[in-house]
Amino acid sequence: MCVWVAAGVLALVCDSVIAAEPVRNVLVLYGAGRLLQANIEADRGLRLALRNSPERPIAVFDEFLDLPRFGGPDYTRIVASYLREKYASNPPDVIVAGSDDAFAFLLRRRAQFFPGTPLVHEGVPAWFLRSMAPLPGDVIGVPVEYDFAATMAQALHWHPQARHVVLVTGAAAQDRAWEARLRSEALQFEARASIEFLAGLPDDAVLKRLGELGPDSVVFTPGYWQDGDGRNFTPRSSVAAIAVASKAPVYGPYSTFIGTGAVGGFMTDFEAMGRQAGETVNALLDRAAPASLALPRAMPMALKVDWRQVRRWGIAEAAIPGDAVVQFREDSLWQAHRGELTAAALVFLIQAALIAALVFERRRRRLAELATNRHRAEFAHASRLAVAGELTASIAHEINQPLGAILANADTAELLLESGADRLDDLRRIVADIRRDDLRAAEIIRRLRALLSKQQAEHQAFDLNVAVRDMESLLRPEVKRRGMALELRLAPCALTLVGDRIQIQQVLINLVLNAMDAMAAMSEPRRTVVVATQRSVGRIGVTVRDRGTGIAAEDLPKIFDSFFSTKRAGMGLGLAIARTLVEARGGHIRAENGTNQGAVFHVEWPAAAAADMEASGLA
């Protein structure tokens, strides 16, 4: 059994090895050095485009001729021999030429070491390809059109005051090739501006001349590889130095110049060149015939500008075409932080909506509170009227006493006057008695009016002991009429409350009347209501205690509910209103049965603060 399993596994492994795709090799040859910015960008585009997968693995090899720092027949022969020996055992399936000089090198030497290998060119100017025609059928690629004239025309359009065009090139073979192109294309601008060439000069001389230019000049340059003293540069590094030294705006044909200080120009993106070459290589690795590939006639070109240089040289933003590629633009606050600003705006709107909702809800609650307070005041007033009705007989008797005394004294005074006797002292005493009885009646009416008046609730500091004494004076006739006793046990010090004195008195009157109702059937020794005031930490209170039958246990939780009453004819509003009035001032009321007999009602409020006492003059 194990032998069969091992044989099966071995067969599967062998089949996998046989079915595996061989690695496809791609050799990329660049004309300049490894660190040339154009090579870096083109290589990035190429590798992004290549489809490397387990079904078709790809190995990419990079080589660099490092021109023009090295050159000549001996050097090219050594490089050709090096490439032939290096890749003899691992030949490429496709070769990519990354520049015109690399393309020329491969076109001459390919048959010696890579015969029959397809060659793809990238970044090679169209005019250079035309100079080497006809090309073999397995040599394909998309040429680049460098339109020097379009860039110079754009520069003159943006700088209408310019009457002088300076063209800068170097001394290397590649530089001289660009110089020939420039001399040919600059002819069309001679009627518009004078043309000055700085070609093959030492770098110092070039920079000195550029520093002497005035505002009537523009500079165009493809950069240079070598100056007149034989010193080597890269086009990008030479343009960076030119842009620093020049007193006139600098334009060029390469996208790698953006960021060096050049304004811009009509350019083709090097990364796009690499991507196009990568797609072409993919097709060849998929075994497509070179002649069958429908490639673009030329790489797309666009006007690219550095926004910082646009601002520096005063170019109007409206003069920049809409399809231009603008780099290093300083985004507006909205452009730079659109997401954050949108989120902040949404948060602001949500907060505004919440605040509006809260304000509306607060106003609605305030109106509801005002309505509740108004209804509470109306109920309290109605309750006081009911109490007044209950006390009518006692109040009438209490008022009738001083009125009767006044009448009797008046009759006595009249008799004394009619007798003609000289009893002036007796008359004075009678008048004093009349005044005293009148004041007594007036005080009873004042207290009754205060109890019955319908007015806004006050918020003032007062002494609870004084309120209890006034309550006792008001109820004294009713207590006497019912044959009961009202005992006051007041704290020895002032107990300052902040609230409505009349409402507090109403609470006390309700509690005392309920206590007397509870003792109506009791014998005379038990017909006493005790009202005591006391102080605790931060709070003051009053206790109303009776010696009646107490409260049934099942009724205690409901004793303060509206419309609940243990009386046969009661409406159940007295204690509910009392609780409302107490709690409206931050107080608390509770009921319990006494230890031995009767019921006890405890009422507590926060003691008045020092500021309230000072405001009311009680401090």
pTM for the model: 0.56
Q: Which of 69, 78, 83, 75 is nearest to 29 (CA)?
A: 83
Helix or strand run (H / E) with residue 265? strand 264-267
DSSP 123-175: S-BHHHHHHTPSPPTTEEE--B---HHHHHHHHHHH-TT--EEEEEE-SSHHH
**What pLDDT shows up at residue 373?**
60
Task: With beta carbons less than 8 A apart as the criterion, state whether 64 and 39 touch.
Answer: yes
Start-end of H helices in 70-118: 73-86, 100-113
* More confident site: 515 or 375: 515
Residue 399 has pLDDT above 70, yes or no: no
290: left (phi over 0), alpha (psi -120 to 50) or beta: alpha
Start-end of H helices in 461-609: 464-481, 501-518, 574-584
Residues above pLDDT 90, as percent of the chain:
51
* More confident site: 136 or 395: 136
Q: Where are the beta strands (DSSP E) in 537-587?
A: 539-545
**What pLDDT shows up at residue 264?**
97
**What pLDDT shows up at residue 195?**
96
Residue 455 has pLDDT above 60, yes or no: no
Residue 5 has pLDDT above 50, yes or no: no
Average the pLDDT over 389-418 and give the result.
64
Structure confidence at residue 408 as a pLDDT band (50, 70, 90): low
pLDDT (tens digit per residue) in 146-183: 999 999 999 999 999 999 999 999 999 989 999 999 99
Residue 382 has pLDDT above 70, yes or no: no
Average the pLDDT over 322-335 and give the result.
84
- Domains of the chain: residue spans and CATH: 2-141 (3.40.50.2300), 148-267+300-330 (3.40.50.2300), 458-619 (3.30.565.10)
User: Any idea which of 135-139, 181-185, 200-204, 605-609 has the lowest mean pLDDT?
Assistant: 605-609
CA-CA distance, 430 to 414, in Å (whole number)? Answer: 10
* More confident site: 504 or 10: 504
**What pLDDT shows up at residue 501?**
82
Average the pLDDT over 116-129 and give the result.
94
Strand order in the sheet with 94-97: 58-64, 24-30, 94-97, 119-121, 139-141
Neighbour-count burial for 449-464, b at 16+ CB within 10 Å, e otherwise? eebeeeeeeeeebbbb
Residue 30 has pLDDT above 70, yes or no: yes
* More confident site: 481 or 441: 481
Report the amino acid identity of residue 27: L
pLDDT (tens digit per residue) in 36-53: 999 999 999 999 999 988
Give 71's DSSP letter.
-
pLDDT (tens digit per residue) in 223-275: 999 999 999 999 999 999 999 999 999 999 999 999 999 999 999 999 999 99
Neighbour-count burial for 535-568, b at 16+ CB within 10 Å, e otherwise? beeeebbbbbbbbbebbeeeeeeebbeeebbeee
Structure confidence at residue 80 as a pLDDT band (50, 70, 90): very high
Supply the mean pLDDT for the chain. Answer: 85
User: What is the pairing mode between strands 164-169 and 24-30?
Assistant: unpaired
Helix or strand run (H / E) with residue 275? helix 270-285
Average the pLDDT over 88-114 and give the result.
93
* More confident site: 422 or 197: 197
Q: Tell the burial category of 572 from Cβ atoms under 10 Å away from its Cβ (0-12, 13-18, 19+).
A: middle
Average the pLDDT over 432-461 and give the result.
65
Max CA pair span of the chain: 169
CA-CA distance, 197 to 578, in Å (whole number)? Answer: 107
Measured at the alpha carbon of residue 310, what is the angle toward residues 309 and 311, in degrees to the nearest 5?
A: 90
